[in-house]
Each structure stands twice: as C-alpha cells, then as structure tokens.
Amino acid sequence: MEKFDVNILGCGSATPTLQHFPSTQVVNIREKLFMLDCGEGAQLQFRKSKLSFSRLNRIFITHLHGDHCFGLIGFISTLALLGRTGDLVIHAHADLEKLLRPQLDYFCRDNPFNVKIEPFAPEKNEVIYEDRSLTVSTIPLKHRIPCAGFLFREKEKEARLIKDMVEFYQIPIRDRVAIKQGADFVKEDGTVVPNAKLTKPADKARSYAYCSDTIYDEAIVPIIEGVDVLYHEATYTNNELPQATSRGHATAAQAAQIAKLANAGKLIIGHFSARYPDNRIFLREAQEIFPNTILANEGLCEKL
C-alpha cells in the first residue's frame, strides 16, 4: 500500500515542559506532506523526524492559540533559507491573516515564495482541500475560541489488475481503465471474460481524524464515524473534569468515549497538561474504555 503516515512532532499543551513540544503533526500521504498545527520549534522537530522540507504541501491550523501557531514565522523563515520557491498555503481562521501578515512583511519580505492564507469557517463541516486521491474536511470543535479539527480521507480506489491475466488475455491498454472501474473484457471472438477474473479488490481507503483542543462533544461522532485512526486531545484526567470543561478541554476518558462511539480503529491521545509528569496515567484511563489506545509522543510515526 502507498504511504499514509502520521508523524507526531509535538503533543504537549500550552505550558512548556522538558517532556513535550507544543502541538505539531505531519501527515505523509504518498510523500506529500501536510502539517497540522505549528507549535514553537516545529522546524527542529521536522528535522528530528527526518522529514523533507521540500515535500511540504500545505499547513492546517486548528485555532489561534499560541501553542498551535507560534511556530509559523520561524518555520516559514526556515523554508526560505532552504530555498523554497513554490507558494505555501495555510488553511486557518481568517484572523491569521491580520496576525501573521505583519510578521511576514517585517521578517520575510525577501522570501522567494508567497504565503497564501485560505480561511475556513470553523463551525462548518466542509471539504477545504482536495486532490486526485485525497480530501481534507473540517471537524467543528468546541473550544474557548473558534476551532476545527481535520479529517483526512483517501478517495475510493480502483480495483487492481492481475498482471498475469492481463498478459494471458492480451488486454489492450485502451481497455484497462474500464476494467479497473468494473467492466468485463470482451475478446475479439465475442467471449466475455468476467471482471472478477481480471482484477483484485482495491486497497481500503484510509482515514485519519485530528481533533485538537475541544471539550467532550458527541456532535463530531457522525463526521468521524469509522475513522481508521483518531487523534483526540486528552489534556486532563477525569480527576480534573471540571477544570477540563471550564478550560475547553477533554479528559483521557472522554477521548476514549468519542473513539468508542465513532467505532474508530485506533485512538492516539495527546495535548498533555504539564501537571502530569507521567503520561501513563492518561493511557490507563483511556484503555479502560477504548483498549486500542496509544500515547502520542515526539518521534511517533503511526502507519495507517
């Protein structure tokens, strides 16, 4: 199967610690890189993860709290130093334009590429990016300021041709696209070769949901139903549930409950509060509800 990896570059919350970097992830789909949030030190973590700066396609910012976007100006400056020339598109709340543009005009006025900010409405569930193999749609989240997660979903794939059968029946190139789309093959003498004899089922289309800062909200469940891997913030444990709710965050148990309701394949929890020196407390709490849970950690590469 072609590459679909989720790289964790940072999974801490707002208060800096020696344990974690702020929120940053990179989704690698067929060597095309998509950055999710951009906390401080993102360019350093990009290098540590051995990701290629030249393959960065777009950046998606969930919301405009500093631990999710303070790394942008440094990262953009690094791209310029490395010789990027192609435009960089950032999907974010419209306010990013007035916040980031003055920094770009001052620090990056000689950049060899343009930075384009494409705003989205965080309260809507809509497709904001699409190419021939992928869609990215927003997931409305409930935080203290407008916030949206992102759902990466592969498009349904065509069936795969069985090479030996193609050669045996000497199927012309002009007929192969139709066969991959489900057509039978008709030989010159009128004999019909069934499609099932010529193809293998397509690889399953994969999906990844990134749900950053949010309270517990079952409204997102229909949007992420059946997702292969779900990242859901788990800033607190249930012992601090009142504070989690008042601060616009979720607990590990709540993240697990969302994964369970959505029939997710796997849950990754992160955005850990600095008050917890041992993150295994989050894992124990989540696994009681959703056993297939793992902890986010810098350097983790989850392969879908």
Cα–Cα nearest to 279, from 100, 13, 97: 13
Q: Which residue out of 37, 67, 213, 228 is catalytically annotated?
A: 67
Helix axes 280-287, 252-261, angle to 10 degrees: 40
* 169 contacts: CB under 8 Å, gap ≥ 6: 185, 187, 193, 198
How far is residue 178's CA from residue 174's CA, in Å, rounded to a whole number? 8
Active site residue 67: yes
Q: Supply 187's token pair.
A: 């030989």
- 275: amino acid identity, one letter: R
Catalytic residues: 67
